[in-house]
Amino acid sequence: MAVLQIVLLFCVGSSIAEDLFSPNVNIITELEKLKNMEERIQKLENENEALKTLLQESQIKIEHFQKDNEVNKIAFSAGLMASGQGQTGPINSEEILVYKKVFSNIGNAYDSNTGIFTAPVKGVYYFRFYGHCHGGTTMAISLQKNGVTQCSVFAWKPTSNGNGSNGVVLTLEPGDKMYTKLWRNTWTYDDPASYTSFSGFLIFPL
Ligand SMILES: *[C@@H]1O[C@H](CO)[C@@H](O)[C@H](O)[C@H]1NC(C)=O
């Protein structure tokens, strides 16, 4: 009887053992799969972090760009006389021309009370001016940066009307002042057609 029991116990035991070590439940394979998944999750988490950083950097760049774009909208254009017509000059000393007819003044860097443009930001700017005079008068106008002549126009007693224009691209620091000056003993003329004018704008900031 006891022998039979032992034999039976052996049979049951071996079938359990068979289940545990059955090829259907390969623990090593399962563990490997888990390890694999863990690695993939870690990789995804790393990629996610990298994407988050990239997104943050992009947002900062967009904010800077938007801010720059606001600050850097600088452009003006003005004609010499706001209304009527007439000569300006001659005078004994050089005189800053004050262009009164403001066509545009985005960024308010041009002052129509003084004729002076003050650079609000460091950047590359373009300035141009156009001068007109009547026959028989001499016209000389210079574009100045902080009082130093950059470029000029000159018409010496033309038989008919005289015209001249010039322009420069300049790198300016914040606070640099740009204006045009009429030379002493010369004339310029303007009327509602705005022959005599001054314009400038920021091409790009630095
Ligand atoms: C200067 O420009 C005015 C206006 O366009 C014109 O009437 C005049 O003939 C020009 N003068 C010369 C010398 O070309």
Per-residue pLDDT of the chain (206 residues; tens, 9 = 90+): 665 565 555 555 555 555 556 667 788 999 999 999 999 999 999 999 999 999 999 999 998 888 777 778 999 999 999 999 999 999 888 899 999 999 999 999 999 999 999 999 999 999 999 999 999 999 999 999 999 999 999 999 999 999 999 999 999 999 999 999 999 999 999 999 999 999 999 999 99
Q: How far apart are CA 186 and CA 141, in angstroms?
A: 9
Polymer length of the chain: 206
* Helix H or strand E encompassing 148: strand 148-155
Rounded-to-5 percentages of helix, strand, coil across the chain: 30, 35, 30
Ligand 1 atom index nearest CA of 158: 13
Q: What is the 3-state secondary structure (H, E, C) of 26-91?
A: CHHHHHHHHHHHHHHHHHHHHHHHHHHHHHHHHHHHHHHHHHHHHHCCCEEEEECCCCCCEEECCC
Residue of 156, 163, 195, 197 with the most ligand 1 atoms within 8 Å of its CB, for mutation? 163
pLDDT of 64 reads: 85
Give the tokens for residue 119. Answer: 């650079």
pLDDT of 68 reads: 75
Whole-Å CA distances, 191 to 89, 92, 164, 183: 15, 23, 16, 20
pLDDT of 120 reads: 96
pLDDT of 72 reads: 87
Q: What angle do CA 73, 147, 116 make, to 5 degrees?
A: 40
Query: Which of the 8 DSSP states describes residue 145?
Result: E
Residue of 132, 134, 154 with the most ligand 1 atoms within 8 Å of its CB, for mutation? 132
Q: How far apart are CA 5 and CA 16, in angstroms?
A: 17
Ligand 1 atom index nearest CA of 155: 13
pLDDT of 10 reads: 57
pTM over 0.85: no
Asked whether 132 and 194 are in contact (CB, 8 A), the reply is no
pLDDT of 16 reads: 53
Give the tokens for residue 117. Answer: 């443009």
**Nearest residue (CA) to ligand 1, atom 3:** 161
Q: How far is the CA of 153 from the centre of ligand 1 (A)?
A: 15
**Burial label, 65 (beta-carbon count in 10 A; 0-12, 13-18, 19+):** exposed
